[in-house]
Amino acid sequence: MEATAPRRPLVRLENVSKHFGEGEARVDALRGVGLAVHPGEVVGLLGPSGSGKTTLLNVIGCILEPSGGRITLDGETVYDGRWLRADLRRLRLEKIGFIFQFHNLLPFLDSTDNVAVVLDLAGFGAGEARRRAVELLEYLEVGHRRYAFPASLSGGEAQRVAIARALANRPRIILADEPTAALDSARAAVVMDLLRRLAAEQQTAILAVTHDEKIYDRFDRIFHLRDGLLEQEQVMTHPRRKP
């Protein structure tokens, strides 16, 4: 019988480090971090404040330049001692979607235009951008709020619109920084179940920084960071596979 080829990780970090400052003022935010996240996985990053979680997310997101190591995203090595892409903005548009603790929707745009603006930046025509935006809002079950402005959305609705925005350019990798911290337990569960569904259906890799204990059972694996070191990987015994 023919062997099944191993899945290629969408995110691979090898010996990644990041420090700020020099000499006595130097702070090692990340120290020799290595991890791999595969298509369809939802992975949590846990640790106390100052442990390096957000720094790690920003390094993976090509927002913050590492001090050393190698980063491979969707099969492309993008950092190996230096950035290998001249246009990091284009790299982020091509490969990565971002979700934040607070939805950060533009208050003067309705839901549709908040999603379409990402596609406008990527060079899509206005009509195509709006069609894609409406399609995503329908997929995330907030299509009925397509003309609503952020101030009139509930917390859960706003976060769904923010997720639609993150998905607009069909990224293979989604990075989420405390995506449920501003939500109550019920809305947090809905958002995490949506992310699980997205990972499974679109074969994306999702990494989420969180302190939110009520969503731990939604992860496939959890990585624990302390003082810039990846101390522990916890494989969840019974992750919730479907919403």
CATH code, domain with 121: 3.40.50.300
Provide the pLDDT confidence category of residue 26 given band limits of 50, 70 and 90. confident
List, as one string, the DSSP characters of 16-39.
EEEEES-GGG-EEEEEEEEEEE-T
Does 145 reside within a domain? yes
pTM of the model: 0.85
Does 67 reside within a domain? no
Does 20 reside within a domain? no
Task: Give per-residue pLDDT as tens, 176-219.
Answer: 988 877 777 877 888 888 888 888 988 999 999 888 777 788 89
Domain ranges, residue 161: 41-58+92-235
Does 221 reside within a domain? yes
d(CA 179, CA 181): 6
Task: Give per-residue pLDDT as tens, 112-154.
Answer: 999 998 888 778 888 888 998 998 899 888 899 999 999 999 8
Give mean pLDDT, residues 39-62: 90
Radius of gyration over alpha carbons of the chain, in Å?
18
Does 83 reside within a domain? no
For residue 10, give the nearest of 80, 71, 70, 83 by alpha carbon.
71
Residue 170 scores a pLDDT above 90: no
Return the pLDDT at 182.
72
d(CA 221, CA 219): 5
- Looking at the 3D structure of the chain, how many domains does it have? 1
